Chain A
Amino acid sequence: MTILLVLIPLGVFLLGIAIALFVWAVRNGQFEDLEGEGSRILFEDPPRRQSVPPIAPGEVP
């Protein structure tokens, strides 16, 4: 049963990773909107935005 000495600490280590990931996800706003995101797969890809060159200093737009 000495394998337990490896497996259980390993489990605790994985638990730490899981909690870290969860904290990251919450802080990143992944759980803010649980209704809308589910349907996102049905959307078309957004159209390419026309890239407007940034206005250079001194240039009159």
Chain B
Amino acid sequence: MSVAAVAPLPEVCFHCGLLVPDGLLLSARVLGESRSMCCIGCRAAAEMLEAQGLSDWYRRRASLPGSAARTLDSIRDENSPLEAPEIEASFLTADGSGSRSAGLLVEGLSCAACIWVIESHLGGLVGVEGVRIALPERRVVVDFHPDRTSLRDVVLRLAEIGFASRPDRPSEAAALEREENRTALIRLGVSGLGAMNVMSYAMGLYVGAFDGIEAGSVALMRWMGFLVATPVVAYAGRPFFEAAWRELKVRRPGMDVPVALAIGGAYLVSVYATVFDVGEVYFESICMFIFFLGLGRYLEQRIRQRACSLSRSLAESSPTIARRQDLDAERVVPADRLIVGDRFRVRPGETIAADGRVLEGESAVQEALLTGEPWPRSVARDAVVVAGSVNIGSPLLVEATRVGDQTTLASILRLALRAQSERSPVARLADRVGSIFVVAVLAVALANFLVWWWIAPEQAIWTTLSVLVATCPCALGLALPAATAATTHALARGGLLVTRAGVLEELARADRFVFDKTGTLTEGEPQLVDVRIAGPLDGEAVDTARALEIARALERDSEHPIARALRRPQPGERVRQAREIVADVRAYPGLGVKGVVGGHVYRIGRPEWALASEVEPSDRVERLRDRFESGGTSRTSPSLAGDRDTEASLVSVLLSCDGVPLAWLDFEDPVRPEAAPALEALRHAGMSLEMLSGDPSAGAEGVAHALGLETFVRGALPEEKVDRVQALTRAGHRVVVVGDGVNDGPVLRAGDVSIAMGSGCDLSRLGASAVLLRDDLSLLPQAVEAARKMRRIAGQNVAWAIGYNLAVLPLAVSGHLPPWLAALGMSASSLVVVLNALRGNRLPSEEERR
């Protein structure tokens, strides 16, 4: 959505999509036509592709590179607030040597080639001292000398090579998270390396037990094991002890309690055995256990953190500024400096910084962020505007009524964050089962000790230990995390980021999908689908190309979704440089745009408004519409015309010349191409599907029919959507909600699982339990399949772990299982669980799903 800043209308390079500089005449023959090129490099590349017979690429590529939509000018404007030292300073961190460093979030940073381009290009900027890039977080950190260059220059320099970037406030939370990650990695390294060494001593002892070994060597191995295992338990095992302590403090013993108990107990007994040279030592089991459990948790946590940072960082970082209107002058201040009653100006294209009331100006605001609807709302004096919406018309003067934490946007954000911190029901259930298990194990061990104490006191401690080790819930503790980690990883590689624990379990049980329409099942951006010629111009008929040209010229500087749709080149069309000189362009919010071309007044917009000079506009419009709906006088090429029957969500605007209709331009929000097969696959997987749309038009119905959705609700308010989903959950359904806007926030929270579209607004992603990175709906059936597979694997794992523990328990209690054998069995059992979980590391392929 941010790509759609003020775009030029222009001749763009056929190869790269950048602007062709004025007066440059470079062209290459591609796909049988002469195409303009912006530079010699592009021409060479295009000619080479053509010569190699690879020009089909131009047909197959989905779109021009994104950079084409943004011009340097617009980026310069957007970042002009950075010139204010106060604003710039808020993004910078200083180090001792006088240089500053700034973090930038870069859009479209996707591969190693980007790293290279950015490093070499930024490195060439005078004053830049260092560039560090973290690909997974899409972050670039630039060190520069504040006297020689500025943050704004860095942003512009990046824009030159087509990377849109936003400065990112240094966040303490992020630094803390990185520190935690590093510590976790070190703990993992210590336990892994330690486990390998202790294992080698244990192998000596195992072999020695059969082949004979000197008592001195045994003592040496044991003491060495003690030496290495101690730091592993104390340092790498510390998180388990801490977590167990926390669980005990809140009287909710979970998996960490038996884990800590097993580690601690086995360690103490081993130390006792080493010091007094009796019994067995279990140092190797302890280290392996800590390593495996730590590895599973670390991997899962990293993937989740990455998912969260991707969804969070963009939301937090947008440089929110306000142009405060003080008595003497206009000042640019950070948005959070505004107080209630302040007046601030909002220029076209800027985001409104606080909730407020319009004092001056007439404009339209885009509230897609909050309402999800793509069409802007027109506002005038006394209208209420909300923070986070974008002014797309003319300048506004606004009086702030709610600021900072009080804004509508902030309250939605808080709700989303709260939802994120709640635990899933399945996780809670697992905890409860874990508690019961723990209590049972402890009871059995205690009973065992007492009974043996009565029969044979010298055997009591060893059989009790055997019981504890044999029933050690290591495998059980690993069963779920290992399976979850493997599947989460596989899904993340496929493009579905899971942001919360427990989501996959819920997804596996789900039986109903609820979709939002706009932006989820459809693309969310209107597209020009048809141009129908309405009448002659100057006695001779205009052609569609000419009509488009005039329409584009009129809408050149508008931010309206229709203008953006107009500016996108049609498939197979070559955008010509606008030759028209448009004078007196004026936008009428909610109505359309008027301008003078060659002495004629052209209007484009609502039909009744475009024909305003007519006596009976509405009547005329009806007649005109009738003529075209029935007449089929469309002269457009078939590629531009869609299937009219399914296009009820059509929005038509009329282009008129001096009040005489010229052409109808039809726009619609098309259904995503992969939606139909994806929904079919979901149905095949036994899901019932449903669409809840806030769109009251018949278009919603059309979309539902096109996708074969029998259950749908159109024109639903957010509360109604929530009610519907809650009714479904009450009826025993497990509901997955897929949506994209902040307005979907409440309904996303109502579902058992919520999935947000990656291109949707940043805030909806905050509340979602998973994010579809590539906006590819066909990942959904894959995710369901993967989640079900994960549940099968987890079930097998739990069955195995519990089954094994139960099977060896009688042997341990009766004294037939020596502790060393119990430990060996325990390690083998854990290994089985881990290996089984690794099967989830692969997404189910197409064939398997059939």
- A residues within 8 Å of B by Cβ? 1, 4-5, 8-9, 11-12, 15, 18-19, 22-23, 26-27, 31-33, 35-36, 38-40, 42-44, 46-47, 49-50, 52, 55
Contact = CB atoms under 8 A, between A and B. Distances in A.
B21 to A, nearest CB: 24
A8 B220 contact: yes
Interface in B75-134: 111-113, 115-116, 119-120, 123-124, 126, 133-134
Given A22-B193, A35-B136, A49-B124, A1 B217 contact: yes
A40 B112 CA distance: 7
Given A32-B178, A35-B136, 17 more contacts: A1-B214, A1-B216, A12-B197, A15-B193, A15-B194, A19-B193, A23-B189, A26-B185, A26-B186, A33-B136, A40-B112, A43-B112, A43-B116, A44-B116, A47-B120, A47-B124, A52-B126
B220 A33 contact: no
A49 B122 CA distance: 11
Shortest 9 CB-CB distances between A and B: which pairs? Answer: A39-B112, A36-B135, A22-B189, A43-B116, A36-B115, A26-B185, A26-B182, A35-B135, A33-B135
A35 to B, nearest CB: 5
20 contacts: A1-B216, A4-B217, A4-B220, A5-B220, A8-B220, A12-B197, A12-B227, A15-B228, A18-B193, A19-B190, A22-B190, A23-B186, A23-B189, A26-B182, A26-B189, A33-B135, A35-B136, A38-B112, A46-B123, A49-B124
Given A22-B193, A36-B115, A8 B182 contact: no
A28 to B, nearest CB: 10
A18 to B, nearest CB: 6
A33 B133 contact: yes
Contacts of B697: none
Contacts of B220: 4-5, 8
Contacts of B119: 46
Nearest to A1: B217
A49 B182 CA distance: 33
Given A23-B186, A31-B185, A12 B126 contact: no
A43 B117 CA distance: 9
Contacts of B200: 11
B64 interface: no
B150 to A, nearest CB: 15
B117 to A, nearest CB: 10
Nearest to B192: A22
Contacts of A9: 224
B734 to A, nearest CB: 35
B805 to A, nearest CB: 33
Contacts of A47: 120, 123-124
B134 A33 contact: yes
A55 B133 CA distance: 29
A47 to B, nearest CB: 7
Contacts of B120: 44, 46-47
A57 B116 CA distance: 35
Contacts of B216: 1
A44 B185 CA distance: 32
Interface string B798-835: 00000000000000000000000000000000000000
Nearest to B214: A1
A42 B112 contact: yes
B147 interface: yes
B201 interface: yes
Nearest to A22: B189
Nearest to B189: A22
A9 B193 CA distance: 15
Nearest to B113: A39
B182 A12 contact: no
A10 B393 CA distance: 75
A11 B227 CA distance: 12
B224 A8 contact: yes
Contacts of A4: 217, 220
Contacts of B224: 8-9, 12
Interface string B194-221: 1001001100000000000010110011
A1 B217 CA distance: 8
A7 B186 CA distance: 26
Contacts of A55: 147
Contacts of A43: 112, 116
Contacts of A52: 126, 148
Contacts of A15: 193-194, 197, 228
Nearest to B134: A33
A8 B226 CA distance: 13
Given A12-B227, A32-B134, A46-B120, A22 B147 contact: no
Contacts of B182: 26-27
Interface in B269-296: none
Nearest to B235: A19
Contacts of B116: 43-44
Nearest to B127: A52
Contacts of B214: 1
Give the residue among A8, A9, A18 with the most B Cβ atoms within 10 A: A8
A26 B190 CA distance: 12
A36 B112 contact: yes
Contacts of A18: 193
Contacts of B178: 32
Nearest to B216: A1
